[in-house]
Amino acid sequence: MPRVLRIINRFNLGGPTFNAAYLTKYLEPDFETLLIGGLKDAKEDSSEFIIKGLDINHLIIPEMRRAVDFQNDRKAFNSIKAIIREFKPDIVHTHASKAGALGRMAAKQLKVPVTVHTFHGHVFHSYFGMIKTNIYKTVERYLASSTTKIIAISNSQKRELIEDHRICEDDKIEVIPLGFDLAKFNENQPHKRETFRNYYGVADNEIAIGIIGRIAPIKNHHLFIESLVRVISKTDKKIRVFIIGDGDMKHDIASQLKLIGMSYTDSDYESSFDTNLNSGNTVTNSTNNSSFTFTSWIRRIDYAYAGLDILALTSKNEGTPVSLIEAQAASKAIVSTDVGGVAEVLDDQKSGLLCKSNSKAISEAMLTLINDSDLRESMGKHGLHKAHSQYSYTRLVREMNSLYCNLLNQV
């Protein structure tokens, strides 16, 4: 049986972990896989519950962190080489930038027959200044030259990698979209909606709008806040806004709300929705009437989608945004900036509204959905079909199995 060493940046909640977990679990028995990765950042939620829920054995390399640190990176590199020597993989498949750099260099040194790398996103714009960005591009071009196959998760990402950033030639890249187990997002929705909205005190006639993900510069929560402030000032409807996630920019976003005089509440992880739901101590008819709520991370995220009416994304750059796939699987209408691979995930005017990256455009799109419940419902139905037909984990596993077999046959 061929062996695959699968390496992810870190075990934090997000698309790469889901992708790696489903491939590790469901490529059996055709492939034996060992999954390894680094530590999550302090402000991120762990994704190990996903791995454990699928009964997957995995290894954590403590020195492999998100930030560049030459001492830790050297230790992580040596750990990966030691694992390759012991496990003797036929394929090393890396996911995202840090894992991609260390894993592919180790695989090259130890002459692993096949190396595959998945770009879950990229850092070639909206992350760093020009000098640092060019350094990253140079490194990726060097790594690509010795990689057997690079996987882009959308057609637009493939075009960017080839035409805009010149990472490699066309024949080096295969497009394989992400895949997820989406069934839970459309199950027991009335109960989940009631549970979520009771916990946070959201009345039936209130419109709940949420953004889900790391509170980081690339996600542009400042634009989200600016847009919602405009919305609140232009409608008589009661709007409740949920910022789901955590990150280094949380304090800055809270300061922005204070500066403009908007009320908000903050829930740390220990008193989070998950904790109370799991313990049975769910609050009903909460007296929280703040316009904005920081929920921290929510692992039972299907409850959150059920409770929301509109899902927003205001990112500066995206590969394939998981929150938009999940929102569509939960039959929710979406407002999103038109960046990266978003337009492939979201059918504009059918499952949501794509906007330019400014608060005027985003607020107008939100007001359109707020004022038209029939439109929200029709978009939800379209999104439900799209998500399940295009982003299932069974399709992901089938396409990856075929790629692996083809690559091994060429060795």
Of all helices (H) and strands (E), which one includes residue 365? Answer: helix 359-370
> Is 377 found in the same domain as 296?
yes
pLDDT, tens digit, 9 for 90 and up, residues 33-92: 999 999 887 767 778 888 988 999 999 999 998 788 889 999 999 999 999 999 999 999
Q: 153-197, pLDDT tens digit by residue? A: 989 889 989 998 899 999 999 999 999 999 999 999 999 999 999
Q: What is the pLDDT of residue 400?
A: 98
Question: What local confidence, expressed as pLDDT, does residue 277 receive?
Answer: 78
Give the tokens for residue 120. Answer: 């879950």
**What is the mean pLDDT of the segment spanning 98-120?**
96
Closest CA to 196 of 277, 263, 281: 277
Q: Which residues contact 204 (CB under 8 A, 6 or more apart)?
A: 197
**Is-contact 133 125, C-beta < 8 A?**
yes
What is the rounded average pLDDT for all residues in the chain? 91
Domain count, the chain: 2
More confidently predicted of 391 and 285: 391
Q: How many helices (H) and strands (E) does the chain have?
A: 16, 14
Instruction: Give the mean pLDDT of 124-142.
Output: 74
Q: Looking at the predicted structure, is the pLDDT value of residue 284 above 60?
A: no
Give mean pLDDT, residues 277-285: 63
- In this structure, what token pair is assigned to residue 250? 């949380």
Residue 273 has a pLDDT of: 83
DSSP letter at 381? H
Q: What is the pTM of this model?
A: 0.84
Residues 300 and 340 in one domain: yes
Query: Same structural domain for residues 241 and 149?
Result: no
Give yes or no: residues 295 and 367 share one domain: yes
pLDDT digits (tens, 9 = 90+) for 317-372: 887 899 999 999 999 999 999 998 899 999 999 999 999 999 999 999 999 999 99
| Local structure of 249: helix, strand or coil | coil
Residue 130, pLDDT score? 73
Quote the domain boundaries for residue 29.
Answer: 3-181+392-409
Q: Is residue 305 predicted with pLDDT exceeding 90?
A: yes
CA dist 50 and 181 (Å) reads 11
CATH code of the domain covering residue 191: 3.40.50.2000
- Contact predicate 326/391, CB 8 Å: no
Closest CA to 310 of 239, 215, 219, 408: 239
Same domain, 194 and 74: no
- Do 193 and 127 fall into the same domain? no
Q: For position 117, what pLDDT does the model report?
A: 97
- Clarify whether residues 165 and 190 are in a common domain: no
**Shared-domain flag, residues 152 and 95:** yes
pLDDT tens by residue, 242-252: 999 999 899 99
- Cα–Cα distances in angstroms (integers) from residue 74 to residues 94, 98, 132, 401, in the given order: 17, 12, 20, 32
pLDDT for 67 equals 80
> Does pLDDT of 308 surpass 90?
yes
Task: Look at residue 270 and tell me whether its pLDDT is greater than 50.
Answer: no
